């Protein structure tokens, strides 16, 4: 597969992440992009859950 990637961007990713080669830098950048997207997706649920005020998380921990 052939890709065109901006050289400056790729070199900066390699330098910042201390990646040994282009493939490692590209894979890391893609993984980070996916993780960021998933975090942003979770934000749409913020404030939409009703929590039980009587729930005792400390009691739950003791039961394990």
User: How confident is the model at residue 16, as a pLDDT?
Assistant: 95
pLDDT digits (tens, 9 = 90+) for 9-57: 999 999 999 999 999 999 999 999 999 999 999 888 888 888 888 888 8
Domain ranges within the chain, ordered by starting residue: 1-42
Within 8 A by CB and 6+ apart from 2, the residues are none
- Determine which helix (DSSP H) or strand (DSSP E) holds 15, and give its type and residue range: helix 7-17
Structure-block tokens of residue 4: 């065109």
- Asked if the model's pLDDT at residue 3 lies above 90, the reply is no
Residue closest to 25 by CA, chosen among 10, 40, 6 = 10
- Asked if the model's pLDDT at residue 64 lies above 70, the reply is no
């Amino acid at each position: 597969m052939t890709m065109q990637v901006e050289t400056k961007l790729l070199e900066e990713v390699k330098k910042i992440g201390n990646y040994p080669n282009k493939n490692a830098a590209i894979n890391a950048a893609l993984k980070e992009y996916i993780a960021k997207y998933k975090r942003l997706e979770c934000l749409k649920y913020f404030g939409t859950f009703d929590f039980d005020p009587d729930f005792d998380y400390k009691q739950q921990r003791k039961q394990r």
